Amino acid sequence: MVIALLKKKKKILIIIILAAAVLLTAFIALFLGSSDMGFSDGISALFKTGDETSVRIIWNIRIPRILAALIAGAGLSVSGLIMQTDLSNPMASPSTLGVSNAAVFGANLSIIAFAGGFLETGNNVKSYTAGVNPFSTSLIAFLFSTLSIILILLLCRIRSFQKEVVVLAGIAVGAIWTAATTVLQFFATDVGISAAVIWNFGDLGRATYATDLIMAVVVLFGAVCFSLSSWKLNALLSGDAAAHSMGVNVNRLRALTMLMASLITAVCVSFLGIIGFIGIIGPHIMKRLTGHDHRFSIPGSMLMGSLILLLSDTFSRSLGHGTALPVGAITSLLGAPFFVAIIFSRRGTGHYD
DSSP state of 229: T
Query: How do residues 245-263 score in pLDDT, each as one tens digit?
Result: 999 999 899 889 988 998 9
5 within domain boundaries: no
Has residue 8 been placed in a domain? no
CA 89, 243, 259, 202: dihedral to nearest 10 degrees?
-30
Give the residue ranges of DSSP H helices in the chain.
2-29, 39-46, 52-56, 63-87, 99-108, 125-131, 134-157, 163-186, 190-200, 209-228, 230-236, 240-245, 250-272, 278-290, 294-319, 327-343
Does any domain span residue 123? Answer: yes
Q: How many domains does the chain have?
A: 1
Query: What is the SS3 assignment for 205?
Result: helix
pLDDT at res. 310:
95
User: pTM for the whole thing?
Assistant: 0.88
What is the Rg, in whole angstroms, of the alpha carbon atoms belonging to the chain? 21
Task: For residues 83 and 233, give the distance between their C-alpha atoms in angstroms, rounded to a whole number.
Answer: 11
Range of the domain at 192: 13-343
Q: Report if residue 2 sits inside a domain.
A: no
Q: Does residue 352 fall inside a structural domain?
A: no
Distance CA 310, CA 95 (A): 20
Give the pLDDT confidence of 86-135 residue by residue, as tens digits: 988 887 887 777 888 898 899 888 888 876 444 444 444 444 444 445 57
Tell me, yes or no, whether 353 lies in a domain: no
Handedness of CA 299, 301, 303, 309 (dihedral sign): negative
Q: Residue 349 domain-assigned?
A: no
DSSP letter assigned to residue 1: -
| CATH code assigned at 73 | 1.10.3470.10
Query: Which of 20-29, 133-142, 183-192, 340-349 is predicted most confidently?
Result: 20-29
Is 237 inside any structural domain? yes
